[in-house]
Chains A and B, each alone.
Chain A
Amino acid sequence: SQTIHQWPATLVQPVGSPLSLECTVEGTSNPNLYWYRQAAGRGLQLLFYSVGIGQISSEVPQNLSASRPQDRQFILSSKKLLLSDSGFYLCAWRLGGPEQFFGPGTRLTVL
């Protein structure tokens, strides 16, 4: 069966510091991968998605970037965090059907 991991689970970073969040999927090959952000009390915002290694689509202009160095690895990065980057970051995968399957999330607090 497929599983999806995200780490770290929680992160507290100062403004202006870099960021790297990692997502990996096990038990499947060539999935679509997604990064979402959920601000406190808000809905889901799609940030990036990828249909294959090195292929990244950006949905929202911002100071975040994404990379897919391996088939089942998806990384969210920033060179300098802003206060507004605080939130709950969710990774998801899909293969075949339209439904997506989500990871446990990373809680990021920027101070």
Chain B
Amino acid sequence: GNSVTQMEGPVTLSEEAFLTINCTYTATGYPSLFWYVQYPGEGLQLLLKATKADDKGSNKGFEATYRKETTSFHLEKGSVQVSDSAVYFCALPGKRNTDKLIFGTGTRLQVFP
């Protein structure tokens, strides 16, 4: 079935540093891909998505490009802020059951001033 692998955390950065959180996937066809963000004590929020190969999703300064050649959907931000400290999840629909989302294990980002 479909699966997703995220880099282990935590990722620790200083404010204004460049961020990359790696996500690679295994899938049949070209399903939509998602990044979710979870701030401390809250539910998950959809951060961005890409629905087809070579699409770039973007929101709040974050970007991710759907790359079928490398089966990747890495999350990037040029200049992180303390308020970006959260857990980030990569996700894609299940193969057999698109009613479900398959989530990565999550990557914790800590940004210090």
A residues lining the B interface (CB < 8 Å): 32, 42-44, 46, 49, 51, 90, 92, 94, 97-105, 107
Contact = CB atoms under 8 A, between A and B. Distances in A.
Nearest to B44: A102
A46 B94 CA distance: 12
Most chain B CB within 10 A, of A90, A92, A102, is at A102
B102 to A, nearest CB: 9
16 contacts: A32-B99, A43-B105, A44-B89, A46-B100, A49-B99, A49-B100, A90-B43, A94-B99, A97-B32, A98-B32, A99-B32, A99-B46, A99-B49, A99-B101, A100-B46, A105-B41
A90 B99 contact: no
A2 B41 CA distance: 21
Contacts of A49: 99-100
Nearest to B43: A102
B43 A103 contact: yes
Interface in B80-113: 89, 93, 98-101, 103-106
A101 B101 CA distance: 11
B43 A105 contact: yes
Nearest to B98: A98
A98 B27 CA distance: 15
B73 interface: no
Given A92-B43, A98-B101, 18 more contacts: A32-B99, A42-B105, A43-B103, A49-B99, A90-B43, A90-B44, A92-B44, A98-B32, A98-B93, A99-B34, A99-B101, A100-B101, A101-B46, A102-B44, A102-B45, A103-B43, A104-B43, A107-B41
Nearest to A103: B43
Contacts of B31: 98
A44 B103 contact: yes
Interface in B27-48: 31-32, 34, 36, 41-46
